[in-house]
Structures are given as C-alpha cells and as structure tokens.
A = this chain, B = another copy of it.
Amino acid sequence: MQTRMAAAGLDRYVSFNPDNIYYLTNFANMVHERPFVLVIPRSGRPQFVVPQLEIPHVKTRAIGDIEVVSYFEFPAPAGLAWSDRFKELFEAGERVGVESICPLQIYMEIPGERVCVDIVDDVRMIKSAYEIGRHVYACGLATDAHNALLAEARPGLGMAETSAKLRGMIMSRLLADDPSINPTATRIIAVFQPGSVSHDPHNFTDIDMRMAEGGPHVSVVNAVMNGTGAEVERTFFIGHVPDAARQTFDVMMEARRIAFETAVPGELLSEVDRRVNDHFRRAGMGDRLLHRAGHGMGVTAHEAPFFADGYERPIEKGMCLTIEPGLYIDGVGGFRHSDTVLIGDTGPIALTGGPTELDALTFPVRS
C-alpha cells in the first residue's frame, strides 16, 4: 500500500470505502451517517477517525498498528466535528490520494492537492496466501450449501423456506468453525428462481416463489463469510428439460468452456467477455445477454476486477473472480452456471463445484 503510494507520489491516502477499511484494518463498519475515515501516511502508522461511541469495537476487531482518532458525535458544534479532528492529520501542501467512491462531503474536507486514485482497490485484486486459504474455505462451504439446495429440488419447494434453511446451515458451520466470526462482515444469499422468472436474473420480487416441473431454474449461493466472498450458481431442471431449453443450455456451456480457456494470466480481462459474447452472437443469441462474464471476489462477493468488455486490464495470477456467462430468453428462461475461480499459473482453478452437465442437473420429480 505505502509502496504504491510512494510510486504515485502521494503523501497521504484517504480511505472511506468500508470494504477497503475492512481490508486494511479488519474492522467492519456498520455504515451509518457518522463518518469513519482511514488516513494512511506515506510512512508510519495509519490514523483512523471514528466516532467515540465506536472505539471499543474498533479496538476489538482492528488488527495492526493503527492510531484511533475520535470525535464525539455527528452532527457536532463548530470545532468539535469529525472534520476538525480529520484536518489536523494533514500537513500543509500535501498531495493526497482519494478513492473514486469518496463522497463529496468527505472530499470537500480534504486539504492539499487531491488526486483520485484507487490504490486499495488495486491491491485487493491480488490475493495473498492467507486470503486464498480463506476463499478455499468459503467456497467449500458455499458448494456444500449449494449441493444441499440441489439435493432438495422438487416441485413446490418454496424460496423463503429454502433460503432460511441454507442460511442457517452456512451460519451454523461458520460459527462452529470459528465462534469469533464477525457478523457485520457476513452476508448470505441462498436463493433460486424457477423457470417462470429466471429470464430476469435479479427478479426476486416474489420471495415465496416455488420450484416447478421443468425449468430452467437457476440456483444462487452468493455469500460473504466473515469477510470472504464465494459464489456458486447452477441452471437445473425438474422432471424434464423443455425442448426450447436444450440448445440454449449447450450454448451457455460452450461459453463457459471458452471463458475458462481464455482466463489465463497475461490475457486481458475484457477478452474473456469479448470471446464469450462473440460466441453468443455466432449462435444467434447476441441480443440475449444481460451481463458481463464475471466479477471479482474478495472481502465482498461482488467487486472489481471484471470480465467485462471495456475493462482493459491484464489477468494476473492471484485474482479471484466468478466465471458466469449467461443467456436470458423471455418465455424460455435463464441459463447461467457460476463458479468462483482463482487465477493460477496457467489458468483458472475452480474453488466452487457441483454438477455442470444437463443430465446431472435434471432431477427426478420427488415429492
């Protein structure tokens, strides 16, 4: 972090993004209107401006040598505001790095020359050995929960019930493995869509929707487990595969193969998306796309980098992303498998798993 700051000619860096602050300090902020701002000098220890009320939690969770600088309350009388304490941390004429997510109300209080640059976000993209171990763990747990969802698939199974059960399963396992996990850094989504809505992949308007014969259903486990993201998703059927779905499933599977093949170190992240989309267009499905081929994983379950056309940045060893090319056809349904992969020396290593082929994802009608 400080090496990159020096390379960018910065005297200080201001981090406001709670995910970046969690990454740097292990303190997960339950975001509200009282500002938490981390100020990182080019050398020496970071200073963390926090409301007095939160000092005990910062001290409970924060790791590393951090100086806590507190203010009493927000709003506050003149001279006692967070910004009064904050401004004291700078010297005259400094060059200060600021995140692109920084809110105006924080930005306006930063003295010196302000430079918009996302250094923490860049550092977050390449996982350390410790982080890789945590992703392997989280992805294993996500896979187990997702397999449990598939094992229960049957007509009439309701989403609210399934979701509560799987979330309970993941939370229980997390707590059994580590009673000190941080609930503020834990968010679990475990849901599915039946064939009637899966063409609209973010549609969870009806939380009581139910599985039905046929498909394509799409299952989703996307979770941040104690500050580590994991995602696994599958397209599945119950009883039979509608004729209109077979060909599209195959086109999606070929896109997935292309994405896995293209996602090697040195290639551009954008190239994965472009090759997938070229394949979709060749198959006459260029207008069935709704999203890029994948997104990064880290202290959240949805972040940079992206397998996205226009994201012209090389793939690097140690990146962790989803591979999830998808097709969406109104009246037929949605087609998407997602796995979380780690970029290794020669290509992606899947950290999540589960059946991928049509036969293995067509379940008998259980009751």
Contact = CB atoms under 8 A, between A and B. Distances in A.
A310 interface: yes
Interface string A273-300: 0000000000000000011100100000
Interface string A76-97: 1110110000000000000000
A291 B53 contact: yes
What range describes how many residues of A lie at the interface? 35 or more
Nearest to A81: B310
A183 interface: yes
B290 A53 contact: yes
Contact of A57 (B33, B80, B203, B207): B203
A36 interface: no
Give the interface centre of A75, A76, A100, A102 by most chain B CB atoms within 10 Å. Answer: A75
A146 interface: no
A57 B204 CA distance: 9
Contacts of A204: 183
Nearest to A16: B103
Contacts of A302: 32-33
A304 B204 CA distance: 30
Given A99-B104, A105-B101, A53 B310 contact: no
A116 interface: yes
Contacts of A61: 205
A203 to B, nearest CB: 6
B76 A310 contact: yes
A151 interface: no
A98 interface: yes
Given A75-B308, A76-B309, A77-B310, A116 B104 contact: yes
Contacts of A304: 33
A202 interface: yes
Nearest to A290: B53
Given A76-B308, A310-B78, A108 B104 contact: no
A210 to B, nearest CB: 14
Interface string A98-121: 111111110110000000100000
A333 to B, nearest CB: 14
Contacts of A247: none
Interface in A285-339: 290-292, 295, 302-304, 306, 308-311
Interface of A: 30, 32-33, 52-54, 56-57, 60-61, 73-78, 80-81, 98-105, 107-108, 116, 179, 183, 200-205, 207-208, 290-292, 295, 302-304, 306, 308-311
Given A32-B302, A75-B308, 8 more contacts: A57-B202, A60-B203, A73-B292, A78-B310, A100-B105, A101-B104, A102-B104, A108-B116
6 contacts: A54-B202, A56-B200, A57-B203, A74-B306, A75-B292, A100-B103
